[in-house]
Amino acid sequence: MAQGTVQRKVLIFDFENQTGKIEFDYLSGSISDALSDAIKKTGKFRLMLREDARMNSVAEPNNVAPNALPPNPAEPNSANPSPKENSGNPNTVVIMNVKVARKEAIKRGREAGADVVVLGKFSELNGVLLMSAQAFEADTRQLKVSEEVLTKSDSDMFNGINILANKIAESMARELPMFDAAEAERRRALAEGIKAEVRDWEIQLFAGFPLLHPLYSSDGTITYSKGIPVQKLTGYSMGATFWDSMLVRKFSFMPRGARLGLQSKLTLLSGQADIVGANAVVLTQGASLSGVFVSNHLMFGVPYWQWERFIAFAEVGGGAVYTRLATTDSTIFSSWQPSAVLGTSGAYHFSYWSLGLSYRAQFTMFAQNQVFMQHDLWLYAGVRL
């Protein structure tokens, strides 16, 4: 399997002091620092700032750290907050060397954007120090690496700390390899939880009802030079849109989340119309009329609003429309015309499919500076790949 190129982000929490002795408090940060140095030297991980691990900072009134140790001004790495850390909020309790719940730590790590969360603890009995460390994958919550070291609780313990740091770094490099770019993006989206995952393509199938306007001339007046008051026609539209997001991402100047598409639509119409001649004389009154509009447009969409997995797009496109209108015994006209589309759509995006609502205003340019407008409102379902 090819080696990935995207480093995992690692968040290391201060180790839990289970000795019950205040003189060992400084080891909470010292062991974490040793692990940070060893993990960083592998070149396979990106260490997050220690401030990101301050899940131990709780800004809630009357929140008291259970079993918190008393202040020890002589030890800067003490479990208790320094004046600087507490100056911002009198209700903030910085809990360093008390037990950290594994589930809560992983949750906070995911919220901070970590891929890997490292937790540890140490205890001492009869002059022997036991240190252990575990590395959890943040998105799956699985334990991937666990190492421990026994050493004397004298000056030899610093050698034991280095041994533990090297062991955990080697095991993490083996069990938690770097991501490839696609996997990193997928995991990033999943870590955000309620955000829509990024996909390269989406195929949408839609159906809805059109609202038709008459022909408009360049001076803004309604004209029936084609002989069709089309507001009397009713029908339905259906079609498909293929969206590509991968190509757009290659251009840095494009808006984030933009996409290119190809939309094909079929509109079937029926109704009645008064057939009017060129001299404004009514030739046929209440004639049965049928129509077929086939359109193809190149589309460009840009997201302008997002809430959780719901995304709204502004969309514009250009192309051509084939228009055929006929009575029961003759064709009134049949031709291709240039066309433009302006609209918006909003959908809830699941992992591999979407469900949404679209609005389109389609402008078709006829001869003599005349414009035909068709409004479409449709529901669509998409497959995201």
pLDDT at position 226 is 46
CB 112 within 8 A of CB 133: no
pLDDT at position 183 is 75
Summarised one tens digit per residue, pLDDT across range 10-23 is 999 999 999 988 98
The backbone region for 199, taken as left when phi is positive above 0, alpha when psi lies in -120 to 50, beta otherwise, is beta
259 φ, ψ (degrees, to nearest 5):
-150, 155
Q: Does residue 96 register a pLDDT over 50?
A: no
**Mean pLDDT, to the nearest integer, of 217-227?**
49
Domains of the chain (ranges; CATH) run 8-190 (3.40.50.10070), 195-384 (2.40.160.20)
Q: Does residue 315 register a pLDDT over 50?
A: yes
Pick from 301, 332, 317: nearest CA to 364 = 317
**Mean pLDDT, to the nearest integer, of 102-108?**
85
Q: Does residue 62 register a pLDDT over 50?
A: no
Three-state SS for 171?
helix
CB 222 within 8 A of CB 214: yes
Please state, in angstroms and as integers, the Cα–Cα distance from residue 250 to each residue in 140, 255, 316, following that order: 30, 11, 20
306 vs 302: CA distance, rounded Å: 11
Summarised one tens digit per residue, pLDDT across range 176-214 is 988 877 777 776 666 555 667 788 999 999 999 888 766
Burial class from Cβ neighbours inside 10 Å (0-12, 13-18, 19+) for residue 33 reads: middle
Q: Does residue 145 register a pLDDT over 50?
A: yes
Which of 66-75, 102-111, 254-263, 274-283 has the largest mean confidence?
254-263
**Mean pLDDT, to the nearest integer, of 314-341?**
88
